A and B are shown apart, each in its own frame.
Chain A
Amino acid sequence: MTDPENIIIVKDLVKSFGSFTANDHLTFSVRRGEIFGFLGANGAGKTTTIKILCGLSYPTSGELSVAGFDIYTQREKVKRNIGYMSQRFSLYDDLTVFENIRFYGGIYGLSRKEIDARSKSLMERLGFENSRNKLIRDIPLGWKQKLAFSVAILHNPKIVFLDEPTGGVDPITRRQFWDMIYEAAHRGITVFVTTHYMDEAEYCDRVSIMVDGRIAAMDTPDNLKLQFGAPSMNDVFIKLARG
């Protein structure tokens, strides 16, 4: 299922937990290099989809290809080509900034040299030079999130999945965070991001809006606003979510 244009292809994805269907016949694709916003209310099934695409959870049925690899048979190859930043904070509190970078770099198989070089440039970019040996538990949440994102793309994946990366972060840090997302996209990394903040939806190249396990709408933010006759993504979302 290699496709020159689409990096993620999902056909008829179903995921059910007992009688509850979290993902009800989803079909969509994500283009190479775009920032794809995956929106939906709480409990709409976004995290379920992300976990399946990352290989953390088995789909009930459907065809899925991520980074050109089949999610059923080439799981480890998929994992080599993706980065993931979960809703829950994913760095080790009792390790320093550098130790976290070294650990994740190490298990992705980067060499010692690469780890040193990348962590150096990463800390320069984030302005963390003086915090290299600080424990994660001692740095502010906004910094942690920026660091977690940088660690998620440390191994230069083709796609990065961000599950509500800006939850609980102040507006200024959120803005900086989105600058980092743009920068990653500029380097050719496809970004798959879920969010609750509708202003963030405006920053995406394309968005899909999930309601009750189904995709209710999918297009560019401008087209969606036009289609629903709404002045902002916020209004589009409210119209859809209310049904």
Chain B
Amino acid sequence: MENQQERMDLSQIREKLDKAKEGGLWRSIGELAERPEFEEYLHQEFPRQSASLGDFVNRRQFFKLMGASLALAGLTACHRKPQGKIVPFVKAPEDMIPGQAVFYASTIIKNGGFGVGILAETHEGRPTKIEGNELHAASLGSSDAMMQAEILNLYDPDRSQAILKFGRIDTWKVFWEEAFTEAGRQKILKGAGLRILTPNTTSPTFIRQMQAFLKEFPQAKWYQYDPVNRDNLYEGARMAFGSPLMPVYDFAQAQTIVSLDSDFLYEGPAAIHSSRKFSEARRLREGMERMNRLYVAETMPSVTGSIADHRLRAKPSQIASLGVALAQAMGVPVNGASAGELSEAQRKWVEAAAQDLKASGSDGLVTVGDQQPAALHAIACAINAFLQSRVTRYIQPAEFNPGNNLNGIKALARDIQENTVEMLLILGGNPVYNAPADLKFEELIPKVKLTAHLSRYTDETSALCVWHLPESHPFETWGDARAFDGSVSLLQPLIGQLYPDTRSALEVITTLAGVSKLPYDLVKETWAGRNIDKLVHDGVVPNTAFPSVSVSVPESVSVPSGSLPSGSDTEIAFLPDPLIGDGSNANNTWLQEIPKPTTKVCWDNVAYMSLDMAARLGVKLDLTKQSYPLMEVKVGDRTLVVPAFPLPGHADGAITLHLGYGRTRGGQNGSGAGFNAYTLRGSDSMSMASGAELSVTRQMYPVACTEAHHVFDFGTGLKSPTDYIDSSNARPIMKVGSFTDYKKDPHLPDHHHHAMEPMSMYAERNYKTYDNPDNHKYAWAMVIDPQVCTGCNACVAACQAENNISVVGKDQVIRQREMHWIRVDRYYKGPADDPELNFLPVTCMQCEKAPCEVVCPVAATVHSEEGLNQMVYNRCVGTRYCSNNCPYKVRRFNFYKYADYDTPVLKLLRNPNVTVRGRGVMEKCTYCVQRINHARIEAKKENRRIREGEIVTACQQACPAQAIAFGDMNDPNSKVSQWRKQPQHFVMLEELNVTPRTTYLARVRNYHPELAPEEHHAGDH
């Protein structure tokens, strides 16, 4: 009728809103959308969704309805979530001091749904920094790079803020109407057409709610899918013991550890715990007689492989052969599989590992990577059982329905194909992007009538679903999660919802079940009978770890034929990206820019391959431009073009592709970065594919790699820099040796390294005034122990979060302008195709005679009485002379205005105690001077000295290997003094006589006598 006249357009709405706004504030478009004015607009714009209005409405009726909806606007609570408010302090509690950080315990959910306990540093109500929770089994107070960067995910400006229907802003009210209508219909069908897909979860509260929900809809199905999952692990345990069990290892006690493609120090729910325990056993102590020995067989150099005593590179399919050979060498019967032909190196590796395992007996263990086939897991279970390994125990898995990821996603695909699905709720996850390519989820999703995707981003899956529902960040909600060992920790909101329209999966499922309860009450209900205040305070629920399950030693392992990979000349290993994981962190700029631990590539994924293979394929690099040739990878009918990247230590005959890149809707940073390896990954090749065809093209692609500059220096006539820490051409940068050498002389003398007697024309500044234990000057110093450093980058991320360090982007990294204050240097030792990796974290050395200070024309970098080399940002004019004169090259320059001054939500992220540096200013590590001063203030208030251990730098706090000591070196009892007194203590570039305050210990490998490299042989016989 006269609808045309009633139609409004957005500008009118805006006008109306402007008037309305005068009365009150609004926070989001979503909230606006619930205003009647907007609904009016929506319903007219999309008449098919506004059945109530219909076509017959005349002006009078319209206003009647309008009036009614205005009146009813307040009555929508039955559909909206119950309002739980976090109220800001009206009256500050007595102990609340503005400017004083407060720490709250919560939990971060890692891949697979496992929780890691955290403490969040909160400044005036906004969380700014994540620390590990010492009470939590999976953290023990440490963290990793992903946990550190989670805070950026919270404040990510690209987070979805509005509920969308077909890509248009809509309201929760409309969604619930549709959902309830459909759910009502499904209720009659007992939920036969209802499917729910979530990532794996361990949350007792969520599982309880889901189960309650499924009781209402008995025929509905709940599938779990993570692209990187533990299916093989559980299946292997089922093969060995009859039920899916989770192995838990005690790396602190283990004497011989054999890892078959398992990156246990870095990947998986127990990585931080494992790293902590492993480093305890590994650290050099004076008079140490015994050291554990780590064997790693893997395709691509991993964090665990880098610290291994004997790293064996092997194609993905060969790992299983090695496992079979190991079992046979141990006398564990394996039926239905043979090791096949092993090379000389492989045979020796297996023999040595078997010999050590037998010698260690119950102190030995074998661990297998999640990506390896189930049969190999079964073999490992058998070996561990055979050893009666007391360092391996088995527990019930913490996940709900463990080990059914692939089955689940396949079943869902089948259900949709068979048209049995009418309503599909995807609560988290991104199956269109990361489901196996052969399932073609992008074609399946649109077949379902009602699809809704709850997600923090409007990602690839959201784009194909009818509804996109914005998800709350875990830091905004209540919840709980289990750690790898089953122990429970709680999630509590660290901040009110940044965007009022976001919901958590728990809230969505409770509302759909018709339960009107706040998440907090649900969590409280789950843990009824316990003191919830204490649980929230500590973050962990005590005594919830699962007890060990006793397992019987299997007589033998039967390997079903075809369950071990056959292999081919060219194989592909699919691994989660070390930093952005399965792709869910793709928009996190910190994680994008932190160099990958072993390859130092950032902002991209590439096809890693051995140097020999690169030579065979004709890969030619242009290192001055950091360009690598694009290569077409073909597996069956699936192809992917990806840069070819030669990597020392990579297995020959295989390439490694990291998942998680090549997002098309991954936010402004995630989209377009890298190449989507999921497109090659089918349900039959979830972790490895064989028979790939590779052809290198002439097209070059720039790859940002922070340490490519010297690795491939072949053909220039210079010695390969891989030799640089070889004793034959030693640069006094790192001290490496063998444990045998160490036992002989713990000083690990290096004949090529001569420290000079310090001499100077000028009077030396005296920092060493230890005459009175109660009244000496502090002399801050740091010692880093590369012996246990795995190069995991937790320190880099922690430093970035603590010190407001800017991200510069791929182009600027290619121009060598990355800003990280601490970097993890990687040095190779040994032959270029299969070298040992050594990591050396480098901070500002805080030289006592700092070369940077004398050359600054404006005195912008000066020395403190306590030995800190201080950087005065507002005095710096930016001549970069200091950086030129720094032998350690630890200074970072703001070539542009790198800091984001404009994005409002990122302002919440900043640490208020650290200056945000502007353009044209030099910056560098300050030993977290803000933390030093905080401790000083606290000490002064109590009229005492700063205690040992009171100052913990950000890198030190994060380090899962506890490889960093910091403190007062004038105090002979401090940890840092103790470490400095160790015989293997080492000063980098000592002969420059700049007397750095950051010093190092040596890195020692415990070689098996038969396998030790040439130079160490002499000492062993």
State yes or no: do A and B come from one complex.
no
